[in-house]
Amino acid sequence: MMIYENIKTAVLWILILSSVVLTWLIWTYEPGYRTLQTDESEYIESEKIGEERTVSSLLLPEEVIVHQGDDTHWMQPVNHSYQQLMETIKTMDINNLHPISTARASFLENEFTGVELIFSDRLHEDWLPRLFSLSDETTKMQDVDRVILYEEENSNHAEVSIIFISAADEQLYMADTGLSVKSLKALYNGDNIRLTEVEVLELNETDLFYAKKYVPSETFSLANYTYLFNQSQLNQISEAYKRALFNDPDYVKHYLPGSLEDVYTDGNSMLSIVDNGNILRYSNPVASSQADRGERSVVEASVDFINSHSGWTGEYQLEQWRETEATDTALYRMHIKGLPVMGSNLNNQEYFTMELTRVGTHITEYNRPIYQLEGEGDLKLSTELPPYKEVVKEIEKSDAIQLEWVEDVRIGHYMEKKPSLILFTPAWFVKERGRWVRIEFESESSDDARDREVGQGGLE
């Protein structure tokens, strides 16, 4: 009996000591991170497909209009003129910012000397300090969609003043600048600046505050560009996006291989590659469970999302952004040498726009082209475009478009995709009932091809 008790005591002590040792091992355990990280070549880096961009670099004006008394001209967006203009304005001191009445800005309806910057959509109030050196932080502006620098004839404080216009809120803000009249005129008198005479666009009456648009009133020329296109690279590019957009590409399943649509999913997100590998459509509905979007705009969130895989593969500008209670959207449009791409022979705007949707704080949809243009753009020819009055004549002869339905008019590139080349040709476009339509003239095409629909107009 005594022996049996001694054995039980020994076993109990063994169990107690084992428990103490195991507990000590657990408390003092350190994973072998150092061993895993000794070889730097083993690091997994985020996928880099193109470049990263800042929000301010995507906020160039849609149009720059030069006012010289009774002469009004469109500054063509060539030779990086809009980028250089915004860089100069960013260095300009702006002070004594204050709201003003519309009566004080009535001179804008008449003749003045200055530069008018028209943006395609409103600039969020939080972005303004990134674009302008606002020294006075006591006055907070609403969102702004138009900026005017003008020669101040009745002020002892500054030679050049600036007016910020918020059409949606019908607000105007004025400030002094450190710019001289000579420097103001230098903004549009450089050797690389090309000016085209314009007139005010007379369309249907609008309820928007100070919503003037301008159209060329004389014949003018713009350059055509040709880029190489390599179809064989699309598989490699789509693989790069797959690695970038899925948390663990090893667990991604591939459906419908060899068909017109390649579909990849990890059970949460879905990635579709369509149109012969040219277009990407990504969705992550699981991320939509959060309703609170936070304080960041959808533009800032979408830029960060694209930057996470260095996804800027060309010249894009912010076209539109919308925020609602349900979803937020941002649309970026491709530009070629400063001119927007407005349509194509493929009747699909996904070839030249990037659109992102946010629900809560997460990007839930991401649609974009993934092909990449090769080279700097071979310039061989230019296209001569007629004045706006000729556009009106074509519309009046058309059975497909009614002038009273036209919402907007723009100059942009028409994209023609061929097997190994992509051509960009300047053209007139009108926005009619939410869609952009290229206007072809009788000298360019037959009557039955005059008015071709080239894509939807953007976010609704």
Residues of the chain falling short of pLDDT 70: 1-8, 10-47, 136-138, 155-157, 204-208, 257-259, 287-293, 443-460
Q: How far is residue 443 from each of residues 15, 28, 138, 400, measured CA to CA in Å?
A: 98, 84, 57, 19
Neighbours of 408 (CB within 10 A): 14
Q: How high is the pLDDT of residue 387?
A: 97
Q: How high is the pLDDT of residue 460?
A: 47
Burial class (CB in 10 A: 0-12, 13-18, 19+), 126: middle
Beta bridge partners of 64: 117
Helix (H) or strand (E) holding 83: helix 81-90
Q: Tell me which amino acid residue 398 is.
A: S
Q: How high is the pLDDT of residue 11?
A: 59
**Cβ contacts of 66 within 8 Å, gap of 6 or more:** 72, 73, 74, 75, 114, 115, 116, 188, 195
Q: Are the beta carbons of 118 and 96 closer than 8 angstroms?
A: no
Q: How high is the pLDDT of residue 354?
A: 98
Q: How high is the pLDDT of residue 400?
A: 83
**Cβ contacts of 174 within 8 Å, gap of 6 or more:** 97, 98, 99, 100, 104, 105, 161, 162, 163, 164
Q: How high is the pLDDT of residue 307?
A: 97
Question: What 3-state DSSP class applies to 11?
Answer: helix
Distance, in Å, from the CA atom of 179 to the CA atom of 277, rounded to the nearest integer, reads: 50
Distance, in Å, from the CA atom of 126 to the CA atom of 432, rounded to the nearest integer, reads: 33
DSSP-derived secondary structure letter, 140: P
Domains in the chain, CATH or no CATH each: 57-218 (no CATH), 228-372 (3.30.310.160), 376-456 (no CATH)
Q: Are the beta carbons of 229 and 420 closer than 8 angstroms?
A: yes
Q: How high is the pLDDT of residue 120?
A: 94
Question: What 3-state DSSP class applies to 196?
Answer: strand
**Cβ contacts of 338 within 8 Å, gap of 6 or more:** 76, 77, 78, 79, 80, 81, 82, 315
